[in-house]
């Protein structure tokens, strides 16, 4: 269930509130290619601590950006994937990727 929180008036502020962290952006980047287990995300995000990844995944789930599926097996298996709302961030990440490429080229 979504926790209620105050949204900024500015739409860019809303986006920054939900995604204004490098780890959240990189988690979405990884999940855009499909469902991932916790260990796969942790491995892809070299410098992130287990606690930080867990916290970000919980927050993103609360905000409706990702979904968590737990399988009843031993050892427990948990998978993460983007919701439809999370998938809609693809255009934002594509724009960031294009801008980053342009910036790198301008620095040569």
Q: Is residue 4 part of a domain?
A: no
Q: How many domains does the chain have?
A: 1
Give the pLDDT score at 3: 54
Q: With bands split at pLDDT 50, 70 and 90, how would you rate the model's confidence at 32? A: very high
Neighbours of 5 (CB within 10 A): 8
Would residue 46 count as lying in a domain?
Answer: yes
* The two structure tokens encoding residue 87: 């998938």
Domain range for 43: 12-106
Q: How far apart are CA 46 and CA 74, in angstroms?
A: 27
Give per-residue pLDDT as tens, 72-107.
888 889 999 999 999 999 999 999 999 999 999 999
Q: In this structure, is residue 6 part of a structural domain?
A: no
Of the pLDDT bands very low, low, confident and very high (cuts 50, 70, 90), residue 42 is very high
**Contact residues for 85 (Cβ-Cβ < 8 A; gap 6+):** 64, 65
Q: Residue 91 is part of a domain; what is its CATH number? A: 1.10.10.10
Contact 66, 86 (CB under 8 A): yes
Q: What pTM did the predictor assign?
A: 0.88
Phi-psi category of 64—alpha, beta or left, where left has phi over 0 and alpha has psi -120 to 50? left
49 occurs within a structural domain: yes
Q: Is residue 4 very low, low, confident or very high in pLDDT (cuts 50, 70, 90)?
A: low
Does 86 fall in a domain? yes
């Amino acid at each position: 269930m979504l926790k209620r929180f105050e949204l900024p008036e500015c739409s860019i502020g809303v986006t920054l509130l939900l995604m204004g962290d490098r780890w959240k952006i990189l988690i979405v980047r990884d999940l855009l290619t499909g469902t991932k287990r916790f260990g796969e995300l942790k491995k892809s995000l070299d410098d992130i601590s287990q606690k930080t990844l867990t916290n970000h995944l919980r927050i993103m789930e609360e905000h409706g950006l990702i979904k968590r599926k737990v399988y009843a097996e031993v050892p427990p298996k948990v998978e993460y994937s983007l919701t439809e709302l999370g998938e809609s961030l693809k255009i934002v990440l594509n724009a960031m990727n294009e801008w980053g490429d342009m910036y790198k080229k301008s620095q040569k």
